Each structure stands twice: as structure tokens, then as C-alpha cells.
Amino acid sequence: MFYDIFFSISQTPVDGQAPAEVEMFQNFFRQVEAADELGFGTAWIAEAHFSSQVQKQHRKPVIPHWEGEVGLSVDFLQLATRIFARTQRIECGSAVMNILCNGGPIAAAERVAAFANLHGLDAGEQRKVHLGFAAGRFDFNNSPGGVRARNRFEDSFWPAVKAKVFEEATEIFLRLLRGDTIASDDIQVRGITRNDLRDDGEWDEAQRLCGSSPVVKRIDLDPRWKFEPLKIIPQDWRRELVQPVIGSHDPRLQDFANTILPTQVFNLSITQPEIIEQTHARMRANYHQDGGPWQRHYMPRTVFVFLNGEQGLDPATQSTRAGEEARAALGAYWTALEGTLDPAKVEKATDNALIGNPAEVAEQIVARFHTEDRLMLWFDFFNHDCDRVVRNMECFMREVAPLIEAKVQA
């Protein structure tokens, strides 16, 4: 089994207290250095853009109840440079880079090339950047850069339109990373069909708004990015050091990305097991040939970890305390996200988290995950106690991981 670690760098109040920005980053670097020493494989870093506090002033705030900042990491590549300089073995991953905002896919591809060129100047450098990319969860991240509805039709069906915008961005981004010279005329035209909408009523409304007469089977969208032929520079960089990982649950888009470059896939621990297995089966058939055979660990899976292995506590007390910590953190999360505490959502989240003393967490992992899975373990969720976060990381690698190995070998 592969053990990675996820860092949110989320400046949200816990028990009414939120660390200053400088303390947040000091804690992060202490934790990522500990992760390197402990043997975690990849440090995955969340990305955020613009103040989530200020967005509450918008006419339609998307997270009106959130206190503090969802995240402080706005440039994964700059952070990765510092991580590589301060560590020896651990690799870096973006979870995830938004390729729609701040210049869109062209600017994102050029930033990646510039980073990889510098990162790979040392011929002995073998550590990869796992380039998770997606469309961004919140529209307030994208709209300042022009990624917003352009007319009444797009406004009425924005979720479907945004999905097509991300498809367009994915094609541009991956083709530029591959080294292609492209113009916008070379990019597929995307369109909305009945299958992209919820029901026949929505499709009829879409046809009406577009004035489609006679009725059409697809409503084409104007390209979001229009440009004459271009190629990003630098051109001669070590592409083997950059591994794309798409943050989309759309099987068709996952497959399309793999017609361009070997592109791995994000998935969540809450995803149903049958979907997980279907994804692996499809990727075994459709993973780009340049990436070799598909492996299970090419699909990292995020999972909350509420581990209590504190010294001086018996296993039963550790278990009880871990459960209390999990419910408090998850309750705070759902309250911040939606404004009210939904016990049902908290219980559902706890069902999918890893919670307990070392023996219990090991048992849960063996029961729920394949021995070749890659787990993206999240220790710092609503937890600013850096000492405790590091102790939990140490407990996992020194106590939980050996128990898992023993159970698997048995």
C-alpha cells in the first residue's frame, strides 16, 4: 500500500482561534519535513484563490458561512520549489491546480514548463511533481479571470457549461504540455446536449433560449480561449518529472485526457466501491500507452484520518477520544460550509473517515482498501495543533503501517 499525505493549509478557526498566516506556513513546513523523514511518498497540497472572507460580500456568495480562509496556498509550483529544497525524498502533488483561473490553461501550462525546466536542471533529480488539475470548486475563483457566463443561456445552465469549459481547458493544457503548437482553431468545439442536462424540461428551455429552430441535437459553445498558433517555452524540459492527474469524475473526460498524455485520476474515499473498480477497469483499457500498464496506485484516494495513539491512554480511551475529535472537526466543517449542523452528513462523513486507535485504524484500512491503493491521508483537517498533527503522522507510520503490513502478510 502507498501512503501519501494531504495538506490543506486552511486558516479556519478551531475553538475560536486561527493561527496567523506566518504560523500556518511554519506549521506546514514542519509537517512536510516530518512527512519526508517518516517516509510518506507524496505531499499533496491544496490550492485556493482569493479571500473566502471577502467573497461573503458578493451578491451571491458561494460559502457565506465560512470563517477564515479556505486555504492559503495560491501557487503550488512556488511551494513545491521550497519543499524540494527542504526535503530529501518526498515528492509533491497539487490537489488541485485550477487551470481555469488566473490566465487559464495556456498560462498554467507555461508555468508548469518553467518550473519543470528549473526543477530538472540537476540531472540526478528524479522526484516528480504530480500535477493534479481541475476546474476549481468555487466560481468566485474563476470569474475575475473571465470564466463566467457570457449570456442568458450560459447563466441558466452554468454547471453544464462550466464542465465543457474545463474540457476545452484540459485539451489546451495537455497539448501544450506535450509540446504541441496549437491555435484555438485546432481545439474541438464543445456543445451542450440533452445528456448534459437533468431532464427534458431543461433541454426544451435550452433550445428556447438559443432560438433553435428547427430543434438541434447539440448547442455549440463559442470557444472560451481564442488565439493564433502558439507554443509554450521553455520547450526542452524533462517531461518525465511531471505527471498529470485529472480532478474530474467524468469517465469520458478521463478517457479523452488519455488520448493526449498519460493522465492519472483523482478519486475520493467516499466514492462507491463499484465506481472505483469501474474506473480501474476503464483505465486499464484506456490509459495512454506512453504511461505503461495502468496501476491501482495511479488513482490516489483522499481520506480523513482521526487517529489517537497518545501516550498514557489505554486503547479504549484512545478510541473514544478519536471519535470525539472526528465529530467535532466534521461538525465544524459542515457548519462552516452550509451554515447549519447536519448530523446526518457528519455521520456519513465519519463512516468514510479513518477513526480510532492505531489497531482500529489499521483494521479499517485493511477492510476498506486494496493492498495496492494509494491513500492521500489528511491529518491536519480542522486541526491547528502542529505538535499533535506530527505525533499523529508519526503514530501512523510507526504503529499503524506495520500493523497493516502484518495483517496483509497474514
- Statement: residue 211 has pLDDT above 90: no
Distance CA 285, CA 293 (A): 9
Average pLDDT in the 92-120 region? 97
pLDDT of residue 351: 78
Task: Say if CB 305 and CB 377 are below 8 A apart.
Answer: yes
pLDDT of residue 213: 66
Give the domain ranges of the chain: 2-139+235-409
Q: Is 312 exposed, middle or buried (0-12, 13-18, 19+ CB in 10 A)?
A: exposed
pTM: 0.94
pLDDT of residue 268: 74
DSSP 8-state assignment for residue 11: B
Q: Which of 191, 213, 195 is nearest to 251 (CA)?
A: 195
Task: Say if CB 334 and CB 12 are below 8 A apart.
Answer: no
**Residue 150 grid cell:** 457570457
- Statement: residue 346 has pLDDT above 90: no
Distance CA 101, CA 97 (A): 9
pLDDT of residue 338: 78
pLDDT of residue 341: 62
Q: Where do we find the cell 499533535?
A: 388
pLDDT of residue 187: 98
- Statement: residue 147 has pLDDT above 90: yes
SS3 category, 44:
strand
SS3 category, 279:
helix
Element (H, E) at 352: helix 343-352
Average pLDDT in the 312-325 region? 97
Distance CA 178, CA 199 (A): 38
Task: Say if CB 191 and CB 221 are below 8 A apart.
Answer: yes
pLDDT in tens, 264-296: 999 876 788 899 999 999 999 999 999 999 999
Distance CA 407, CA 350 (A): 23
- Statement: residue 337 has pLDDT above 80: no
Q: Please give the share of the chain, as a percent, with pLDDT higher than 90.
A: 86
pLDDT confidence band for 214 (50 / 70 / 90): low
Task: Say if CB 40 and CB 397 are below 8 A apart.
Answer: yes
Across the chain, mean pLDDT equals 94
Distances (CA, A) of 86 to 9, 29, 91, 344: 18, 8, 12, 42
Average pLDDT in the 288-307 region? 96
Average pLDDT in the 96-107 region? 96
CATH code: domain 2-139+235-409 is 3.20.20.30
Considering just the CA atoms, what is the radius of gyration of the chain in Å? 22
pLDDT of residue 210: 85
